[in-house]
Amino acid sequence: MNYELKPCTEKQLPEILDIFNDAILNSTALYDYKIRNMETMSAWYADKISHNSPIVGAFNEEGILLGFATYGSFRVRPAYKYTVEHSVYVRFDKRGLGLGKVLLKEIIKKAEEQNFHVLVGVIDASNVVSMKLHESEGFKLTGIINEVGFKFGKWLDAAFYQLILKTPKNPSDDI
């Protein structure tokens, strides 16, 4: 499959919205109940831009978004400033083609470029494909929080994965 990796812009928000809403309605990839709207997506995008968080997209030859990856703050306390929580989403009809791996590798590269030290992924523990993908890229399972979510009439367990990067070279306590 041919694709191009490049930053997503506001132009892609409707496509990102479709990918998010499919995940909300049909999977446990997002522990949300209600579909999102463009107002929600505009706020999400503004937050990503204001925090210099990349939104990397995989686009086909016609410029259609096939999937995306991003990250944002893990926790708001200053000591967590070198840690980000990432997300990777692939359009429902393009899963299983290797795009998740490509997007995960790219978001790892972006995190290193921005001098982060730890990438955290929170994955529904029933999502074996995503857990194996993360493990293939060096992520380690650090714990499972049992029955932390409830969706589709059942309790959900959240698996926490982390990848420790070699960056930053000179960490500081400065805010």
What are the extents of the domains in the chain?
A: 4-164
How would residue 105 be classed by pLDDT, with cut points 50, 70 and 90? very high
pLDDT value at residue 104: 98
Buried b (16+ CB within 10 A) or exposed e, 22-55: bbbeeebbbeeeeebeeeebeebbeebeeeebbb
Which contiguous run of DSSP H or E holds residue 124? strand 118-124
Calpha distance 165→117 (Å, rounded): 5
How would residue 175 be classed by pLDDT, with cut points 50, 70 and 90? confident
Q: Note the pLDDT tens digit of each residue in 69-91.
A: 999 999 999 999 999 999 999 99
Per the structure block, which two tokens stand in for 97?
Answer: 């083609």
CATH of span 4-164: 3.40.630.30
Q: Note the pLDDT tens digit of each residue in 1-51.
A: 789 999 999 999 999 999 999 999 999 999 999 999 999 999 999 999 999
Q: Tell me the backbone φ, ψ of residue 163, rounded to 5 degrees.
A: -125, 120
pTM: 0.95
Q: What share of the chain is helix, strand, coil (3-state, %, to 5)?
A: 35, 30, 35
Rounding to the nearest 10 degrees, give the CA dihedral for residues 91, 26, 53, 41: 100
